[in-house]
Amino acid sequence: MTNLPLRPSGQAERHGEQLPGIAELDRYLGYGNSYSNQPHISMYQPHGYAPIQRPDTPASTASQTSRGSSPAQPLSTEAKKVKERNARKTEATIRCWIEDMLHVYTGYDPAKTQTAGNGRLAGLVGDKTENALAVGGLLESLLCRDLLAAYDQDQAQSPGVAFGAGPHVSAVQAQMRGSMQNSVTRGSVLAGTLLDAGDEARCDHDPKSKSCNKHHTPDYRFCRREQCKRTFVRNLKRNERKHQRDPEPRGSRARNIRESRLA
């Protein structure tokens, strides 16, 4: 192994002294030869992650594939704008879904409402920051309620068992992860819930107008809420009729609604 010309401890740096470069450090630590045109694996990659391979080419050299093909062309300015608009539209839709869910399920309305700006044009009734705080508070409350109940069951069976090591907490956590992943996979937080309107036409409006083009109401935001409430009532009645035909043990209805999102 090559000994590096490291400066002894406490020795002052002399003008013009060259410290060992990265290539020398790599050779000294056993990471192969100096940088070349071959893919180089970073020795600082965190444990548990697949190594990121990239060709170490000079910044001034145009990147090319191993087959000699031309590099991928960057998006045009207009294409970038379209991509950004679509991303903002998707995020706004998800925020509206969550706001509608909070209002229909709990009756929650934020104290601070949207009076102007992008939030109102995006479809929000309440301030997006207050909505986010409300979601966080509700989520923490529900997580603690279900997980602590499961933890009590684990403690009753195995006193002293660590949180998450018992079967009940593990099962609840797995169900929660499945529910979250299901929303990601479906691309919707409403699919499979009591707020799922299926293929029913949604409220629509012109970019510079608040009126709903679909239902001809003055404010499409509140129109959307009303449509969401009707969907909830309709699905709730349908769910009640189903359980009247097929009676279930007490307490299982809410559990089945929750678990249906994993299907």
Domain membership flag for residue 31: no
How many domains does the structure of the chain reveal? 1
CA 178 to CA 162: how far, in whole Å? 22
In a domain, 146, yes or no: yes
Q: What is the dihedral of CA 120, 123, 129, 135, to 10 degrees?
A: 160
The total number of residues shown for the chain amounts to 263
Task: For residues 71 and 51, give the distance between their C-alpha atoms in angstroms, rounded to a whole number.
Answer: 22
- pLDDT at position 131 is 92
Residue 125 is assigned to a structural domain of this protein: yes
* Dist CA 21 CA 102 (whole Å): 57
Q: Is residue 229 part of a domain?
A: yes
Residue 129 lies in a domain: yes
Q: How far apart are CA 244 and CA 30, in angstroms?
A: 71
Residue 56 counted as domain residue? no
pLDDT of residue 72: 62
Domain that holds residue 108: 88-246
The answer to whether residue 127 sits within a structural domain is yes
Q: Which positions of the chain have pLDDT values less than 70?
A: 1-73, 116-121, 245-263
Closest-CA residue to 100 (of 236, 210, 196): 196
What is the SS3 assignment for 64? coil
Per-residue CA distances from 136 to 140, 142, 146, 155, 186 (Å): 6, 10, 16, 27, 22
- pLDDT per position as a tens digit, 240-258: 887 776 665 555 555 555 5
DSSP SS3 for 53: strand
231 burial type by CB count under 10 A (0-12 exposed, 13-18 middle, 19+ buried): buried
Q: Classify residue 211: in a domain, yes or no.
A: yes
